[in-house]
């Protein structure tokens, strides 16, 4: 399992304008972005005791969470993801889902998962059976991604964070979501080293690394 370095900062709108301008000068837009951005919808999972939420809120150094995700309202490409964190290192595992499979998971129809060819799908099934993990809430936001080849760097600006509250019908485009935060999240990920040109591009005075969680923000109403 390969882990990447990750840092995250909560910034304001003025900060975003400055960093966006710097990144456009030195980095590359993600080729999957449309006009420099894309819309992300995720369905997050948790157990009845809100284990994933509590691990984040309590600042546990080791934690994991499962989510199903697709982009720009297009359900033709959907992935199940498991995000693992160890201190400031992160790892993401992924497995493809069809639209029908994703809907079945959201509906609680899971027996088919035990026979999946993908280990991650079988792992989620096992934890749904043994730990009570289940779909918890929808998390929507807009992302502006930048990439830099040296160091395999990825910088993202996330904003317009919205919650589906208790709704888990995440394939329904008419599902009502509500804004939960005006925060803008700067996240930087890299492998062995972070090039100075990127370090300088994202540097801001008096901004400390934060522990902002979009999932936790979207659980504010329960």
Confidence of residue 221 (pLDDT cuts 50, 70, 90): confident
Residue 23: helix, strand or coil by DSSP? helix
Q: What is the mean pLDDT of the chain?
A: 93
Distance between CA atoms of residues 171 and 73, nearest Å: 8
Instruction: Count the residues in the chain.
Output: 222
The helix/strand/coil state of 132 is coil
Q: Is the pLDDT of residue 118 over 70?
A: yes
**How do residues 164-209 score in pLDDT, each as one tens digit?**
988 889 999 888 899 998 999 999 999 999 999 999 999 987 666 6
Q: What is the mean pLDDT of residues 115-125?
A: 98
Q: What is the pLDDT of residue 205?
A: 78
Distance CA 72, CA 86 (A): 30
pLDDT for residue 1: 67
Assigned token pair, 90: 């992160």
CATH of 4-217, one of 3.30.9.10, 3.40.50.1440, 3.20.100.30, 3.40.50.720: 3.20.100.30
Distance CA 59, CA 53 (A): 10
Which residue, 157, 154, 153, is CA-closest to 142?
157
The mean pLDDT of 9-22, rounded to a whole number, is 94
Give the model's pLDDT for residue 210.
Answer: 64
CA distance 87 to 59: 9
Q: List the one residue out of 201, 203, 103, 112 whose CA is nearest residue 148.
A: 201
Name the token pair of 52. 């994933």
Q: Is the pLDDT of residue 211 over 80?
A: no
- pTM for this prediction: 0.93
Q: And the tokens for 203?
A: 């540097």
- Cβ atoms 216, 51 nearer than 8 A: no
Distance CA 156, CA 189 (A): 9
């Amino acid at each position: 399992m390969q882990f990447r370095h990750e840092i995250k900062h909560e910034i304001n709108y003025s900060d975003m304008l400055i960093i966006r301008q710097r990144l456009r000068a030195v980095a590359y837009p993600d080729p999957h972005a449309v006009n420099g951005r894309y819309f992300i919808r995720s369905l997050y999972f948790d157990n009845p005791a809100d284990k994933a939420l509590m691990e984040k809120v309590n600042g546990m150094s080791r934690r994991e969470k499962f989510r199903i995700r697709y982009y720009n309202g297009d359900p033709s490409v959907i992935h199940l993801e498991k995000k693992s964190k160890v201190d400031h290192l992160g790892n993401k595992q992924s497995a493809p889902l069809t639209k029908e499979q994703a809907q079945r998971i959201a509906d609680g129809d899971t027996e088919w998962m035990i026979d999946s060819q993908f280990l991650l799908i079988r792992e989620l099934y096992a934890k749904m059976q043994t730990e009570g993990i289940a779909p918890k809430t929808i998390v929507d936001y807009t992302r502006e991604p930048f990439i830099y080849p040296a160091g395999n760097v990825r910088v993202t600006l996330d904003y317009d964070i919205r919650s589906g509250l208790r709704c888990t019908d995440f394939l329904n485009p008419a599902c009502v979501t509500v804004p939960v935060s005006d925060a803008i999240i700067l996240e930087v990920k890299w492998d062995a080293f972070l090039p100075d040109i990127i370090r300088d591009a994202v540097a801001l005075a008096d901004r400390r690394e934060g522990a902002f969680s979009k999932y936790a923000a979207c659980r504010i109403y329960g």
